[in-house]
Structures are given as C-alpha cells and as structure tokens.
Chain A
Amino acid sequence: MRCAPLLAVALVAAGCRVEVGPPEARQTAAAAHGPSGTVMVYTSMYREVIDAVKPTLAEALPGVEVKWLQGGSEKLATRLDAELAAGAPQADLVLTSDPLWYERLRREGHLLPYASLPALRLRRDLIHPTGAYLTSRLSTMVIAYNSRLVSEDEAPRTFAALFDDRWAGKVTCPDPLASGTAFSTLAQLLHHEGPGLLARMKAAKLVASGGNSSAFTRLESGEHQVGFVLLENVLAARAKGSPVAYRIPDEGAVPVPGPLAILKAGPNPEAAKAVYDLILSEPVQRAIVAAHMHGVFEDLPPPDDAPDLTHVLDTRYRFTPEFVDATVEEAQAIRQRFAEAMGAP
C-alpha cells in the first residue's frame, strides 16, 4: 500500500526520455536565408563604443538583432574555450584584443575565413592571409609616467630603459598572465631584447599585477612612477585631468591588434558576416576612435592627443605572421619563464 505512490512515480519515469542538443529555436534560425535572426558578439570593446554603434547597426540591418556580451578578453576567451570544448559556442562573432588567441583558434579550425569587401580599405598587414581574422582596431602599449613625480626629460625613452637601476622599485605594468595586451607586449619585448630582459625586470623589482587599469591606478596614485600601460587608458584619464603622461618609445610603441573573426560553429554565420562588414564601416570606426583607440582606416583622424595610425604602426614591434607563428608556439613557455623570473614557486 505504501509502495503505491513510489510505483506511480516509477511508471511515469519509465515513460520519460531525455534529449540533449542545441536549442530548437537555434536550428530553425540557421536554416533561414540572408542576414536575419540574432547575432551574438563576444567583445571586450568599451560600453561607450557599443552604445554608439547600436543605431548604425539597427539602421543598416533591420532584420538582425545584435546582442553584445561585453567582458574582459581573458574571461571571454576562457568562456568561449569551454563552449567550444562542449561543442556548442554561443557566439557568432568575436571582437577582443588578444591576437595570439585568434591564431590558436584559427589553427584549431574554429574560425570561418571571410573575404570582406570593406576590408579592401585596410593595410594588407592588418589582415591575416587566410582571411580567418583581421585587425579591426588597435590598443597601443606605451611608456607612461606620473608627471608630478617624473619630468618629461627624465622619463624613459625606450621600453628597455624602464628597467634601469634608477627606476628600481618604481616601475609597474599589467600582469601578462591576466591581460592579453600585456602578454603581447612582453612577447614583443622578449623577441627583440632577448631573454636577458627578464633578469633586468626582476632586478628592477617590476610589479606586474592586475589588468591595465590596475597598473594605471598605481601610476596615478603615485605608488609607482613609470611603467607601460595602454595609450587609451592614459588618453581617457588625461581628458579628465589626470597627471599621467605618455611617451611613444624611440623604437616605436606596441600596437596590439584587436582582431575580428567569425566562428565556424556559431549559430548564425550568415548574419555575422553582415555585422562583420559593418564593424569596418566609418561610423563604427569613428566610435572606436572616440573611445581613444586607433581605428584601422589610415585616412580617418586619430584619437585626440595621439599620433596618427601610420606613425603608430611604424614600429619594430609589429605583429607579423612570422612573429605570431613563433609566439603562439612559445606562448606557454614565455608565460612560464616570466612567472618563474618574477618569483613564482
């Protein structure tokens, strides 16, 4: 008698089955033709840029709903890596700022090659030869200093000079393990200065911690006096009266590409292509420049108080295919060597 309810539950359970798969709504969306449905963009672009481009996209693509998931490059990479491992990426487009991660995705065959018409306006060295990804904006790593504590004449002129004895204990940068742009910069510096630079960083008691804005905060508060941070952080803060100033090193800055790519297994690649083209349109590029980054059209004005794009790209720290090839293989070893040099057990 007291077994009856249990028995009933067991009977209902026997009539159940469980299906696992992509959501049904998504399957129908993929079958439709032309740019329509929803496009999900994973991006590390600033909120102000996204807000500024929303009207442009809505006007040009009335049938497409663009959803933005905005977060840090590294968090989005961790998330998308997990989604790809599970075989069900939620994103159609990725627009973050870690060039080496895109190269890894390309090698693993996750990216959809796409020849975009507006890309003809770009310098050839900003486009990957296979068309798997291209640079849609640049975040430039420069030397920065607190102008209340360091005069313009005293400020280091090269990246290597940051690690001179006179700046020992006064130099900071973002953590290459936490920030993709910091890692790209570290890889460039080691590529050109040689592995001896790590010992000099250690001797200068370099504090490499947190993301770009943590490093910037340490400069602004005067906890540290010199370092390397992103130009866009300096420009944004200077517009509000911050005493942090910047300098383009003599050998050139490190212009870190912010790549744009379409995911092969994304839910809606057709509409993603239309959004891809629009990110290479003038209104969107102008919005990027207004947020203190460099866009990729050489004939558009640069951000206020910044050198123009040609000048920024005239540097020895270029992300050439050879450099990217060498570094993507070495990425783990570089991070490991850096962590060990800085005292990780």
Chain B
Amino acid sequence: MRGRLARVPWSWLLIGGLTAGALIAFAFAPLALVLKEAGRGRFQWLFHELSEPGTRVAFLNTLAMSALVTAVAVPAGAALAWLLERTDVFATERVRTRFSALFAVPLAVPPYLLAMAWALLGNGRNGLLNRLGAGAWIDLYGLDGTVLVLATSAYPFVMLTAQANLRRADPSLEEAARVSGAGPWGVLKTVTLPLMLPALAASAGLVFVFATAAFGVPYLLGSVAEPPVYVLTTRIFQYISLGGADMLSRASALALVLLSTSLAAQSFASWIARRRSTVQVGGKAARPALLRLGRVRPFAQAGLLVGAALFILLPLGTIVWTSVARSFADPFDPTLAHWREVLAREETARAFAHSVLLALGAGALVAVLGLVVARLSKQFGRPGAVLAAMAASPYAVPGTVLAIGLLLAFAYEYRLIVLDTVTFALYLPGTLGLLLVAYAVKYMAFGVRGARAALDQIHPSLEEAARTSGAGPLKSAVDVVLPLVSPAVGAAFLIVALPCLSELTMSVLLFGAGTETAGTLLFELQSYADPPAAAVVATMVVAVAVAGDSLARRLQRRAEGRMPPG
C-alpha cells in the first residue's frame, strides 16, 4: 500500500483529500446526524423495527416493486438506446435525435405528477380511460400502477447512460463482427450487448435504488389501493408524521434498512459490471455504419411511436390539458385563467430562474466531482471504493431524511479563520447554497457511477502512452481521458440537471424566504391554490426541460463534430 501511495503524485493526493473532506462535510455528516438516531440505545429501535411484521411486509413490497421496476426499465431503456443509436429505425439523424430528446422527457417530470396524471386517467372509479372505454376496465391503484409510473420515470437513466456508452464504444468491433459474417442479431448478441453490459449493470443498480427511495408514487397510488400497499418509504413517512420522541429513531432505523438494501443492490451491480467489464484500447470513436433493420423496421417504428404516445404523450398531455381545464369537474371546458393567474405572480419568474440556476449548478458540480471521485476510486483501490460508496449513499436515503440531516448540520454559521486574519464564513440556512448542496449531494451517485463505468472501459495503456510521451498526470488525464469520458459526463449532467429542475421533496423543507424554486411553487399551488394551477407550473417545467435538453444535445453534437475522428 505504502509503495503504491508513494507512486501517487501529490496533486492526486491533494485533490483526493479535498474531495474526501468535502464529501464528509456536506454529504456524510448530515446523514450521520440522522442515522445516529437509529443507533440510540444499542440499536434497540433497529432490532425493534426488524421484528415488526409490518416492516417485513413493507420490506418485501419494496423489494418486489424495485425488482419489477428494474426489470421493466432496464430492457426498455437499453432497447431504446440501441434502436436510436445503432439502427436505421428512422432514416435521418435529425429524427433520431428528436426521438431521443422526447424519450428523455419523463426525467424532468416529477414522478408524483406522472402518478397524478395516471390516477386521473386510470383510477378504477371514474378514470378518464374508464369513462371512454366500456365500464371499469383499468385500475391503476396498487402495485401495478406504481411500477408503471416508476418505470416510466426511471428508464431514461438507462437510456441516456447506454446511449453515452454506445457513442463512445469503438464501432470497429461491431464492424469486424459483421465482416466476419455475423448477422445483425449476432452482432447485437455477441458484441454490442456485452459492450453495453457494464453501463447497463451500473444503471440497473441506480434504477433499483431510485425505486426503493421513491415516496410520492407509492403514496399516491399504493396507499389508496384496496388493500393498501405499503413500502418502506411510506412507512417512514408515517413514522415522521406520527410525531413523538421515538419516531425519528424508528424512522431512522427504517432509513438504515433502506440504505443497506440500496448499498447491497449497488455493490451487486458494480460486481457484475466489473466481472463483465470490457476494456477498449481504441481512442475517440467514429460514427458507425447503422444496422439495417430490414423487415423489422416498420414494427420497430410502430413500437416507438406507440410507446411514446402511450407512456409519454398521454400522461404529459393530461397534465397540459389539466392546466387549461376549468376544473376537475369540467375537464373539457378550456380556459386560460390558470395560466394568467400563475404568470401574474411575481415569484413565478424568480422561482424558474432559481430552478434553472440550481439545475445547471448541481448538474455541473455532480458531473465534475463525480468524475474526480470515480477517477480517485479507480486510483486508490479500497479507500477509493469507500469514497465512491460515500458519494453514492445519499441517493438511497429518502429526501425528507436527508433534508432533516442538512437542516441539523447547517443550522449554524461556520467560520474558518486562517492565521487569525482571513475569515471565511459559511451560513447556508435559507439560501440557494443549501439547496445546491442538497441537490448535488442527493444526485452525486449518478456522476460517480456514470464516470466510473466509462473510465473502466479505457485501457490504462492509453494514459500510459501519454505519460511516456512526456505528459504529466493531470495533463494526460485532461488530454486523453477527458475526451473519452465526455459523453458519459454529459449524460450525467443531463440526468442530474433535469430532475433538479422540479425537485420537490427536499426543496419544500430547505427553501428560504425569497429563494422559491419551481418545485416549491408547484407544491404550494398543488396543496393550497388549485391543482390546475400546479399543472401550469408542471407544463412550464417540462417546456424548460425539453428546451434545455435539446440545447444540450445540440452543443454536444457540435463538440463531437469538432473532434477529429479516430
């Protein structure tokens, strides 16, 4: 170990130390403050909770729900990525890009809004679909509806990660297989799929964790079902709202169960990713020749169109339509009153400006820090793995618990006084800074996992080549590694920035007077004014997200176009 550390340049040690310090201060300390509640009295509450039959039911429901969501979202996301990146399903690049952007949209829609839209469409009593069809033929309350909505929210993680992975994978491998006589499906099975596997495993881990930590959707669709379906997060919500001295301890004990489940799932995923990891020596990839789908093409096109219509346009259309419907009693009586009301509010523009700023900031922070942590974890072996796990664990903790931890940890002003002359003061409550910290901490997992999957595919010989040619460690990282992982970093940026645009769970606990965000505005309108006005904000969030997403894609394409091939 000593010998290995001695070979590490001091710049790496310094960066590593600073990153670890920041992670401990901002991500781990708040979590530890809450979780130490779970350890009170020699973990008596943990044992108490584990012995409760209700916990077992909620735990098994969580596992079943998360496994189903993963089983639906990962193949769907992978298939979409492959169709849109590697095949001629649509003839022009333009159309394929448009569809990629369209299929990424659910990422920007808060899952609980999708759940509300589906509840409106498919509740067993008088859902719109039931009114249109013959009798009550669909009832989305329960586990099936919960899985449907969560899978819709989660597949874009997989799709974006896999697309980034395919974009940087060396197409000459696939071409070689084709030249050697493999058919299109043979290439997919023997080359493309194994190439995608590490990224797929990493994102499957994240999808699983996303589902275990989800609260709004199982609450809206599960706890009103007959019989009600409870999961760990809805049970934690019950404990927190039951109030009382022991309840934070019991809730923390359950949060610890949730965290362990998630960490186990993530380690399993990264074990698979490492076991099946593929390394490539090639540099920057050229655009591959597209696979001809032939006779299957019309079916693939129809599948994409129907999928987009059913799972994206239908629920989003419902949200947009709600925003112009007079009320839920008269859904077919259009009015612009809600739009006028929301646009007339002085805080609407401010809230959106804050959200855009925070989303860009959190996305950039996570993309950069994620890359650094991933690079460090690759460099340092075991301590690096601890660092990566530390960065990834906040994602598995329910937003409410994380927000309480941040409130506890940052209630004070911290002053760093250097040599009694210079004072750096940090006082976060009620500022945008606290929200930025919350978002970045929560989503750090995406930056780390995405970058690590990409880094693992780069053969060390590339960097070594740069080093032997005289480049320093930082220069070789910037000149060689960075261009190769940039699609993954870009994907991480999008995956983080889009949900941050409308983040709600933590924001409603952490925002300050004058630092409203789109999420808090949404929550306020949803709970107090009228839900149609909330649909206006949701529509605006989606519009901003789509615009931002296509802008990011255009910039990325231009950047890729400038880079020399090969």
Contact = CB atoms under 8 A, between A and B. Distances in A.
> Size range of the interface on A?
35 or more
Contacts of B53: 345
A85 B408 contact: yes
A20 B414 contact: yes
Interface of A: 2-3, 5-6, 9, 12, 15-24, 40, 44, 46-47, 67-72, 74-75, 78-79, 82-83, 85-88, 90, 104, 146, 148, 169, 177-178, 205, 207, 209-214, 217, 220-224, 236-237, 240-244, 331-332, 335-336, 339, 342-345
A18 B414 contact: yes
Interface string B311-328: 000000000000000111
B528 A46 contact: yes
A18 to B, nearest CB: 6
B329 A148 contact: yes
B389 to A, nearest CB: 26
B68 interface: no
B530 A345 contact: no
A146 B237 CA distance: 30
Nearest to B420: A15
Can you list the 9 inter-chain pairs with the closest CB atoms, starting with the nearest? A345-B54, A86-B411, A221-B328, A67-B513, A82-B407, A15-B419, A23-B413, A88-B411, A345-B57
Residue of B329, B330, B345 contacting most chain A CB atoms (<10 Å): B329
B327 A237 contact: yes
A251 B415 CA distance: 59
B527 A212 contact: yes
Interface string B402-424: 00100110011111111110000
Contact of B123 (A90, A223, A242): A223
B526 to A, nearest CB: 7
A267 B425 CA distance: 19
B369 to A, nearest CB: 20
A2 B241 CA distance: 56
Contacts of A331: 243-244
A85 B327 CA distance: 42
Interface stretch (B187-195, B221-229, B553-561): B221-229
Contacts of B524: 47, 70-71
B429 interface: yes
Contacts of B220: 209-210
B509 interface: yes
Contacts of B223: 209
Contacts, number: 180
Interface in B236-295: 237-238, 240-244, 247
B352 interface: no
B327 A242 contact: yes
Contact of A224 (B125, B407, B530): B125
B150 to A, nearest CB: 18
Nearest to B404: A82
A221 B13 contact: no
Contacts of B347: 47
Residue of A69, A169, A331 contacting most chain B CB atoms (<10 Å): A69
Interface of B: 9-10, 13-14, 53-55, 57-58, 120, 123, 125-126, 219-220, 223-224, 226-228, 230, 235, 237-238, 240-244, 247, 326-331, 337, 345, 347, 400, 404, 407-408, 411-420, 425, 427, 429-430, 508-514, 520, 523-524, 526-531
A221 B126 contact: yes
Given A79-B407, A86-B408, A223 B126 contact: yes
B57 A19 contact: no
Contact of A90 (B13, B58, B430): B430
Given A5-B10, A72-B508, A90-B429, 18 more contacts: A19-B417, A23-B413, A44-B528, A78-B509, A79-B407, A79-B510, A86-B412, A177-B237, A209-B223, A213-B528, A217-B328, A220-B327, A220-B329, A222-B126, A223-B126, A242-B329, A335-B242, A335-B243
Contacts of B418: 12, 15-16
Given A3-B10, A9-B14, A344-B54, A71 B417 contact: no
Given A18-B416, A20-B413, A177-B237, A72 B328 contact: no
A36 to B, nearest CB: 18
A21 to B, nearest CB: 6
A3 to B, nearest CB: 7
A82 B509 CA distance: 10
A116 B350 CA distance: 36
B329 A75 contact: no
Contacts of B509: 75, 78-79
Contacts of A82: 404, 407-408, 411
A16 B417 contact: yes
B273 to A, nearest CB: 34
